[in-house]
């Protein structure tokens, strides 16, 4: 008699996070208006969007702190509201408010959380990796904002979660601390942890994210890998010169089909087919009108450009 094939637990094959048609209202106001997204295991997804776009509301529903008005959310194949007790030990949540007792010492606090999980990471190693060894015996209330953020991340990670929710994890950190966090998140991804992070730092998203989702007014306005969002082609010529150049005159020197913009005073971009001839035309025109060109380079769209085009706003506006 042949034995039956082993049954696969459907939840273990599920993506780390799956959101379909998510809606969340506050009274008549629709804060989240039909968001869809999928986060595979072992990947980092960056959720970007202007203030009030609906990022935190979405993350809080995924964490099981709020219920959706419509749509489905599955975290590790489970319903974060209904199955919150089963999910809690499997996910890491970095709370904005920190979540640590003000009078506890840093080392004690982390050891306490570690003691609650079956197979914790070494608290000592985590504190060292996050640059917190020197404050092991310091009371939580005496930590700087950046140190408290790092402790909060350590608390989210110490139980070896399968999925990590991070709402602006490096906001307010100095560059050195930010790098420590980024290295730790990359290591977590290598260990198969899925990470959903919201951020206003485009360089953070560019550096870490396998997948970027941009939301505005509660809706997804773009979704894809960085390469998919940015496109691979060199599409503009950037240069610096005195501010107030008459760009219409530059364009008359170029063949039809180019456009130009002074993005910030004295910083210009010429968009179109950037050929050696087009470059020479622009610099020759500048020379003709006695303008010194500096920082001339051929570039491609950045995440910043895509974000600005889609939301009409600079990232922190």
Distance in Å, CB of 119 to ligand ATP, minimum: 32
Q: Which is nearer to ligand ATP, 52 or 192 (CB)?
A: 52
3-state secondary structure at position 279: helix
Is 68 a binder of ligand ATP (CB under 6 A)?
Answer: no
Distance in Å, CB of 196 to ligand ATP, minimum: 13
Is 45 a binder of ligand ATP (CB under 6 A)?
Answer: no
Is 61 a binder of ligand ATP (CB under 6 A)?
Answer: no
Phi-psi region of 151 (alpha: psi -120 to 50; beta: other; left: phi over 0): alpha
- With b for 16 or more beta-carbon neighbours within 10 A and e for fewer, the 88-113 pattern comes to eebbbbbeeebbbeeeebbbbbbbeb
Between CA 154 and CA 16 the distance in angstroms is 21
Q: Which is nearer to ligand ATP, 26 or 125 (CB)?
A: 26
Distance in Å, CB of 226 to ligand ATP, minimum: 20
Among 12, 51, 144, 288, binds ligand ATP (CB under 6 A): 51
Among 15, 22, 48, 54, binds ligand ATP (CB under 6 A): 54
Is 56 a binder of ligand ATP (CB under 6 A)?
Answer: yes
Distance in Å, CB of 33 to ligand ATP, minimum: 10
Q: Which residues contact 199 (CB under 8 A, 6 or more apart)?
A: 46, 47, 48, 168, 169, 170, 171, 205
Between CA 288 and CA 283 the distance in angstroms is 9
Is 96 a binder of ligand ATP (CB under 6 A)?
Answer: no
How many CA atoms lie less than 13 Å away from 287 in the CB half-sphere? 6
Among 55, 74, 150, 178, binds ligand ATP (CB under 6 A): 55
Is 53 a binder of ligand ATP (CB under 6 A)?
Answer: yes
3-state secondary structure at position 206: helix
Among 39, 57, 197, 216, binds ligand ATP (CB under 6 A): 57
Q: Which is nearer to ligand ATP, 25 or 88 (CB)?
A: 25
* Contacts of ligand ATP in 187-246 (CB under 6 A): none
Q: Are strands 236-240 and 163-167 parallel, antiparallel or unpaired?
A: unpaired
Q: Which is nearer to ligand ATP, 56 or 136 (CB)?
A: 56
- Please give the backbone phi and psi of residue 143, each rounded to the nearest 5 degrees, phi first: -75, 150
Nearest alpha-carbon partner for 160 in 195, 188, 197, 127: 188
Is 31 a binder of ligand ATP (CB under 6 A)?
Answer: yes
Is 125 a binder of ligand ATP (CB under 6 A)?
Answer: no
User: What are the angstrom distances between the C-alpha of 134 and each of 14, 104, 111, 290?
Assistant: 41, 15, 16, 58
Q: Are strands 17-26 and 29-39 parallel, antiparallel or unpaired?
A: antiparallel
Is 163 a binder of ligand ATP (CB under 6 A)?
Answer: no
Distance in Å, CB of 155 to ligand ATP, minimum: 21
Q: Give the interface size with ligand ATP as a residue count (CB under 6 A).
A: 10
Which spans of this chain sit near ligand ATP (rule: CB under 6 A)?
26, 31, 49, 51-57
């Amino acid at each position: 008699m042949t034995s039956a094939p082993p049954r696969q637990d459907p939840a273990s094959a599920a993506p780390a996070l799956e959101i379909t048609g998510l809606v969340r209202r506050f009274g008549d106001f629709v804060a989240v208006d039909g968001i869809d997204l999928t986060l595979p295991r072992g990947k980092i997804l960056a959720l970007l969007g202007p203030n009030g776009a609906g990022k935190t509301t979405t993350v809080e529903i995924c964490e099981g702190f709020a219920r959706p008005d419509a749509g489905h959310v599955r975290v590790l194949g489970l319903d974060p509201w209904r199955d919150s007790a089963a999910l809690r030990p499997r996910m890491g949540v970095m709370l904005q408010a920190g979540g640590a007792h003000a009078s506890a010492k840093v080392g004690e606090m982390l050891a306490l959380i570690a003691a609650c999980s079956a197979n914790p990471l070494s608290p000592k190693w985590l504190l060292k990796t996050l640059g917190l060894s020197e404050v092991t015996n310091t009371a939580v209330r005496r930590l700087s904002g950046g140190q408290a953020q790092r402790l909060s991340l350590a608390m989210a990670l110490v139980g070896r979660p399968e999925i990590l929710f991070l709402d602006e994890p490096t906001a307010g950190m100095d560059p050195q601390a930010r790098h420590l966090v980024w290295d730790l998140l990359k290591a977590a991804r290598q260990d198969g942890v899925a990470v959903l992070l919201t951020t206003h730092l485009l360089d953070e998203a560019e550096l870490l994210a396998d997948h970027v989702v941009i939301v505005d007014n509660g809706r997804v306005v773009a979704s894809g890998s960085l390469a998919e969002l940015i496109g691979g082609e060199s599409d503009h010529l950037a240069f610096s010169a005195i501010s107030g150049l008459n760009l219409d005159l530059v364009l008359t020197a170029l063949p039809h089909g180019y456009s130009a913009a002074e993005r910030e005073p004295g910083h210009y971009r010429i968009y179109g087919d950037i050929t050696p001839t087009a470059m020479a035309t622009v610099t020759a025109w500048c020379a003709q009108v006695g303008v010194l060109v500096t920082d001339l380079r051929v570039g491609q769209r950045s995440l910043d450009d895509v974000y600005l085009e889609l939301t009409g706003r600079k990232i922190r506006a």
